[in-house]
Amino acid sequence: MTTPVVTRIAPSPTGTMHIGTARTALFNWLFARRHGGQFLLRIEDTDRARSTPEATETILKGLEWLGLDHDGTPVSQFAQAARHAEVAQAMLANGTAYKCFSTQAEIEAFREEARAAGTSTLFRSPWRDADPATHPDAPFVIRLKAPRAGETVIADAVQGDVTFRNDQLDDMVLLRSDGTPTYMLAVVVDDHDMGITHVIRGDDHLNNAARQAQIFDAMGWAQPVWAHIPLIHGADGKKLSKRHGATGVEEYAAMGFPARALRNYLARLGWAHGDAEYFTDAEARAWFDLEGIGRAPARLDLKKLENLSGQHLSAMEDAEILAAVQDWTARTGAPAVEADRLLPAIGIVKEASRTLPQIVERAHFALTDRPVTPDEKAAKALDTVSRGILKELTPHLQTASWTRDVLEGVVGDLAGSKGLGLGKLAAPLRAALAGRTATPSVFDMMLVLGRDETLARLDDVARDDG
Ligand code: GLU
């Protein structure tokens, strides 16, 4: 029997939800879901000065918006401090850790001397092999008795074997003199206790993996599968920073990308399945594997995101888009839309839209009240001649069946009888119905608005003529 997969995302709640964290969460979520395993959440809140409840809330909301549901109750790392200390004691007991009584001043003096002598400044504690009978009654830290010879090899599923020389790693502190655990100990104990089988995270943690592996070994615990993913870079190939634009998930949500488009995009940021660019959640869940993660840093590309977003909007159900628009207006403070006006228009605007605000913009004709105020360009299309033609059109529309074929016939016939191209009639019609010049097709708009509203809008324009 193989062990069920358990992955986790372990964010530090110190700010926004970074796009890199979102991608790491997505990879872990996809991997767990693909294998019918569990995706757990751990809040790494041990840094009391920097961790805030608001940041935790932002992370929870970000995951929820992205649709990355986690299993079980989130674990607070801080709340596990007693358990971390217990493990440090167990390591003392099994001889893989020791009490170190060296003071900060002594450690500094050691380094000074090493620098002067040109030898390694890695601290070598004189207490490592001291007889406990000689221990003073003084404050101490607990240090790992790390192997000094040989190598620690991380068999990484993305990076391959990564080798660290043990003589270049010091005896790291596990428990501070005030009894609080260090980050390195906390991560290992939590990953073990949570039953994590795969640690998939940014490669900025690769060096930590060597140290964490030593703690796993010291406790005789099986190491998880390690998979360190290259960080996300900006379009210029440099490490992603604010300078490159949006770095927080909430900023992408505010730009109006549907969550499923961002999932698709983030999945492609560093992972590939053949040459598939656009894919659904179901496909991603069926395909995701560690072998598909590349070793080169992925570059953020907003154009590609927009392009994928457009494809997702075209494929989404109208009701799903409506819900996404409502979420977007609520989160950005944009004016709320009337659902029963927007919904019938979504079908004719989604193909040409790449973001949720573009949906709202193109559906303006359905959301706006009569009388429609034309913008500057539309006003120009409504000159006296054009209005006259629209007036002539009205009786034909009063009796026409309200279907696309018939409407196209009616408008086409009138244009023909005037010796005009269809466009000459479409422009003022557009202006009358939508108050704009860039709109969905006039026939689509007429069908969505219905006969009464269409005629009323034409009548408004005719009245303007005095
Ligand atoms: N808290 C770490 C971070 O936010 C993640 C640690 C881990 O995944 O092991 O970068």
CATH number, domain at 460? 1.10.10.350
**Whether residues 84 and 224 fall in one domain:** yes
Domain with 103, as residue range(s), is 79-229
Query: In this predicted structure, what is the pLDDT of residue 463?
Result: 80
Q: Cis peptide leading into 371, omega within 30 of 0? A: yes
Contact 386, 349 (CB under 8 A): no
> What is the number of domains present in the chain?
4
For atom 10 of ligand 1, the residue with the nearest CA is 11
**Whether residues 85 and 220 fall in one domain:** yes
The verdict on residue 456 lying in a domain is yes
**Whether residues 213 and 90 fall in one domain:** yes
Catalytic residues: 242
pLDDT higher than 70, residue 13: yes
Integer-rounded Cα radius of gyration of the chain: 32
Domain boundary among 229, 256, 282: 229
Mean per-residue pLDDT for 442-464?
94
Mean pLDDT of the chain: 96
**Whether residues 277 and 162 fall in one domain:** no
Mean per-residue pLDDT for 211-227?
98
Say if ligand 1 is within 6 A of residue 51 CB.
no
Query: In this predicted structure, what is the pLDDT of residue 244?
Result: 83
Q: Which residues of 186-197 are buried (b: 16+ CB within 10 A; e: fewer)?
A: bbbbbbbebebb
**Whether residues 217 and 107 fall in one domain:** yes
For atom 4 of ligand 1, the residue with the nearest CA is 11
Helix, coil or strand: residue 309: helix
How many residues are there in the chain? 466
326-331 long-range contacts (CB < 8 A, ≥24 apart) are 327/65, 327/253, 328/253, 328/254, 328/256, 328/356, 328/357, 329/360, 331/250, 331/253, 331/254
The verdict on residue 133 lying in a domain is yes
The verdict on residue 371 lying in a domain is no
pLDDT higher than 90, residue 423: no
**Whether residues 90 and 197 fall in one domain:** yes
The reported pTM is: 0.94
Query: In this predicted structure, what is the pLDDT of residue 239?
Result: 85
Helix, coil or strand: residue 363: coil
Domain boundary among 250, 267, 302: 302
The verdict on residue 309 lying in a domain is no
pLDDT higher than 60, residue 465: no
Query: In this predicted structure, what is the pLDDT of residue 3?
Result: 78
Mean per-residue pLDDT for 165-188?
97
**Whether residues 128 and 56 fall in one domain:** no
- The helix or strand, by DSSP H or E, that contains position 27, with its residue range, turns out to be helix 19-34
Query: In this predicted structure, what is the pLDDT of residue 464?
Result: 67
Q: How large a percentage of the chain has pLDDT more than 90?
A: 93
**Whether residues 216 and 241 fall in one domain:** no
**Whether residues 182 and 124 fall in one domain:** yes
**Whether residues 203 and 124 fall in one domain:** yes
The verdict on residue 368 lying in a domain is no
The verdict on residue 42 lying in a domain is yes
Residue 196 C-alpha to ligand 1 middle, in angstroms?
14
Q: Confidence band (pLDDT; 50, 70, 90) for 73?
A: very high
Say if ligand 1 is within 6 A of residue 11 CB.
yes
**Whether residues 173 and 89 fall in one domain:** yes
pLDDT higher than 80, residue 466: no
**Whether residues 203 and 140 fall in one domain:** yes
The verdict on residue 307 lying in a domain is no
Which atom in ligand 1 lies closest to the alpha carbon of residue 208? Answer: 9
Q: Residue 258 maps to which CATH number?
A: 3.40.50.620
Q: Give the span between the Cα atoms of 98 and 101, in whole angstroms.
A: 10
Say if ligand 1 is within 6 A of residue 10 CB.
yes
The verdict on residue 253 lying in a domain is yes
Query: In this predicted structure, what is the pLDDT of residue 355?
Result: 98
For 79-127, how does the pLDDT look when each residue is reduced to its tens digit (9 = 90+)? 999 999 999 999 999 999 999 999 999 999 999 999 999 999 999 999 9
What residues contact residue 111 under an 8 Å CB cut-off, 6+ apart? 121, 123
